[in-house]
Amino acid sequence: MPRVEVQLPATKASSYPIEIRPGLLARAPAMIEKVAGRRRIAVISDSRVSRLYGEALAKALQKKRPNTRLIRFPAGERHKTRATKDKIEDQLLSAGYGRDSLLVAVGGGVVGDLVGYVAATLHRGVPFVQVPTTLLAMSDSAVGGKTAVDTPAGKNLVGAFWQPECVIVDPKVLGTLPPREIRAGAAEVVKHGIIADAPLFSYMEKNLGGLLAGDPKVIARGVADSCRIKAAVVSKDEREDGYRQILNFGHTIAHALELVRNFKLLHGEAVWVGLAVEAALAEEIGLLGASDAVRIIEVCGRAYPLERALKGVSPAALLRAAKGDKKARAGKVRYSLPMKIGAMSPGEGNWSLAPDPAAVRRALARIRAGQKSE
């Protein structure tokens, strides 16, 4: 039988701008219209953020584009599901949205992940814009093109890589964010310092109070540096074949903890715990020096009550949940771990490794007991 080669032209470059400026939300309608061109716009937000920003943005766009729709869905991680995605898609299709559509995600990480996944699959792919309104989304989830929904088996197990057309970041909107959300988002800022920027970690270590309190100066540096770091990582490895896995530091444990706690913790709260446990794990297996491990665990403990988050959580249940992590290979749970603050271990050649589960249990026991070092 003959062999036929399918030769495809180079795909459209997935580069895009991240615009960061206080007060930028006022310019968002004009920016979105420019990106949209002749496309029909749909603004999609959750029930909480739509009242704060989604409705106003949709009304501003409707002045020139009266066929713009606002679509809402219930707020919260428990609604980041295939069922919610189906409902959003059904609303878009029944309203006549075709391939000539532009979706605008207004909200935190849940909104961005969900709307991005809708964009990736609606009519086999339509463009979308990210307008993040939480610190976690601004500093992490809105950048990089990961889109997904949760399933009973775990977080973000069904999704696609689909880059936005642009990301519009207005740090002023964080003034309406509850303190708990600021504290959660701060975990991703600190993570970026640990994985790639020791001076950023030192700055946040020194100014942790300001970061957790939403101090504009500290937040501005955190968001800008986080976007810079994540953009650099994603530019090297868009689809997480290797180097991009360093962004998962703290997240193997965090995702398992969220699942075991039935999503009662915010993602960033679980990340604080994950950073501490995985720093302890890196020390346990000889990757990370004790002094750096102590610094990481101390910052996490100052930011969030680690022992309380782990109280009543069975280590066996946590390790079982971790086996469903998307990084697992051949039944082994993999972790991306630091070898010092500001630099990650290349692991087994793909920036992750599969340590002995006994070492993970020891690391968990240390954090549960409030130990900072061996």
Residues 6+ apart with CB under 8 A from 77: 110, 150, 258, 263, 266, 267
Residues 6+ apart with CB under 8 A from 70: 42, 43, 44, 45, 50, 54, 55, 58
Q: Measuring CA to CA, which residue among 62, 44, 66 is closest to residue 53?
A: 44
Within the chain, residue ranges assigned H as helices are 28-36, 49, 55-62, 82-94, 109-121, 135-136, 179-196, 198-206, 208-213, 216-236, 251-260, 267-284, 290-303, 306-310, 315-322, 357-368
30 is written with which tokens? 């004009």
Give me the active site residues, please. Answer: 124, 146, 188, 230, 240, 244, 248, 251, 255, 267
220 is written with which tokens? 């501005």
CA-CA distance, 202 to 194, in Å (whole number)?
9
373 contacts 294 by C-beta, under 8 angstroms: yes
Residues 6+ apart with CB under 8 A from 148: 113, 117, 155, 156, 157, 158, 159, 160
* Beta-carbon count within 10 A of 305 CB: 12
* Beta-carbon count within 10 A of 36 CB: 20
Question: Any idea which residue has 């989604």 for tokens?
Answer: 54
Q: Measuring CA to CA, which residue among 151, 150, 94, 97 is closest to residue 119?
A: 97
Q: Quick one: CA dihedral 31, 34, 36, 40, positive or negative?
A: positive
CA-CA distance, 191 to 200, in Å (whole number)?
10
99 is written with which tokens? 């391939």
Query: Is 112 buried (19+), middle (13-18) or exposed (0-12) by CB count in 10 A?
Result: buried
